[in-house]
């Protein structure tokens, strides 16, 4: 077991989810377990939210290529077999990145109380899941994880148009507001930042989107910001 400090909080790191040791450790430290892969943008959303809000967690690395998400043990945490997933300190679980970060950000400035403003945040998060991630994240996955094999070339190319459409919608939004859902940063920015800042790895040239590029820069200058590999 390795303990280390980050943002002045005590963390616990374990290399595998085999066994129940992580749950024992979690009870001792009374913080949630986050199951994820450091190279995954969806998992980065959770890590970035925790960093910005100073929330402590146990990081449990999951290797999606080794089918770690398909084990019976992992499916008890997320029956859909995907990361990120979290196990709260009281044993309750949550999965789907945007649901997780909204839960973590409750009562913080990252999540509005006003019903309309909250719906605006969710509007952009649904946009991210349906009109952005399936193009930009999947093109990156084919390129970075799979090494862009010939049999995936048509799919890779097929994802480009949808990704550009999503980036254009964002570009237009940033002509009227500093952050995606208004004039202050919310979890919707975290949801969209995760894969937008990696879009070049999916073949998208962000220079074509100057307002998006400025917004990326604004996010990376937030207090307590961490990069994907930090």
Ligand X SMILES: N[C@@H](CCC(=O)N[C@@H](CS)C(=O)NCC(=O)O)C(=O)O
Nearest by Cα to 198 from 134, 144, 150: 144
Extract the tokens encoding 186.
């919310």
Least spacing, CB of residue 84 vs ligand X, in Å: 6
Contact predicate 43/196, CB 8 Å: no
What span, in angstroms and rounded, lies between the C-alpha atoms of 46 and 140?
19
Contact predicate 61/36, CB 8 Å: yes
Told to check if 64 binds ligand X by CB under 6 A, we report yes
Told to check if 69 binds ligand X by CB under 6 A, we report yes
x/- site string to ligand X, residues 123 to 162, per CB under 6 A? ------x---------------------------------
Q: Which stretch binds ligand X (CB under 6 A): 82-90, 111-119, 195-203, 222-230?
A: 82-90
- At a CB cut-off of 8 Å and minimum separation 6, what does 116 contact? none
Nearest by Cα to 57 from 78, 83, 85: 85
Told to check if 22 binds ligand X by CB under 6 A, we report no
Pairing state of beta strands 32-36 and 57-61? parallel
Least spacing, CB of residue 55 vs ligand X, in Å: 18
Q: Which stretch binds ligand X (CB under 6 A): 12-20, 96-104, 142-150, 180-188?
A: 96-104
What span, in angstroms and rounded, lies between the C-alpha atoms of 150 and 207?
27
Least spacing, CB of residue 102 vs ligand X, in Å: 12
Q: Pick one of 7, 53, 81, 88: the residue that binds ligand X (CB under 6 A).
A: 81
Least spacing, CB of residue 129 vs ligand X, in Å: 6
Told to check if 178 binds ligand X by CB under 6 A, we report no
Nearest by Cα to 182 from 192, 173, 191: 173
Told to check if 33 binds ligand X by CB under 6 A, we report no
**For ligand X, which is the closer residue by CB, 64 or 219?**
64
List, in sequence order, every residue forming a beta bridge with 26; answer none if it has no partner.
none
Query: What residues make contact with ligand X under the rule CB under 6 A?
Result: 40, 42, 64, 69, 81-84, 96-98, 129
């Amino acid at each position: 077991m390795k303990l280390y400090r980050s943002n002045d909080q005590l963390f616990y790191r374990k290399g595998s989810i085999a066994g129940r040791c992580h749950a024992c450790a979690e009870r001792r430290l009374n913080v949630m377990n986050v199951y994820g892969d450091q190279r995954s943008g969806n998992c980065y959303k959770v890590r970035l939210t925790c960093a910005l809000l100073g929330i402590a967690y146990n990081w449990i690395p999951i290797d999606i290529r080794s089918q770690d998400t398909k084990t019976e043990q992992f499916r008890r945490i997320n029956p859909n077999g995907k990361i990120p997933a979290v196990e709260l300190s009281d044993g309750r679980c949550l999965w789907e990145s945007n649901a997780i970060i909204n839960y973590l950000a409750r009562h913080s400035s990252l999540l509005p109380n006003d019903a309309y403003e909250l719906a605006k945040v969710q509007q952009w998060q649904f946009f991210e899941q349906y009109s952005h991630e399936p193009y930009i994240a999947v093109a990156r996955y084919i390129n970075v994880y799979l090494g862009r094999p010939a049999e995936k070339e048509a799919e890779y190319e097929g994802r480009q148009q949808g990704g550009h459409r999503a980036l254009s919608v964002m570009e237009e939004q940033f002509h009227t507001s500093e952050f995606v859902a208004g004039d202050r940063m919310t979890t919707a920015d975290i949801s969209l930042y995760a894969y937008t800042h990696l879009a070049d790895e999916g073949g998208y040239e962000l220079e074509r989107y100057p307002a998006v590029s400025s917004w990326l820069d604004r996010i990376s200058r937030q207090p307590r910001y961490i990069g994907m590999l930090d």
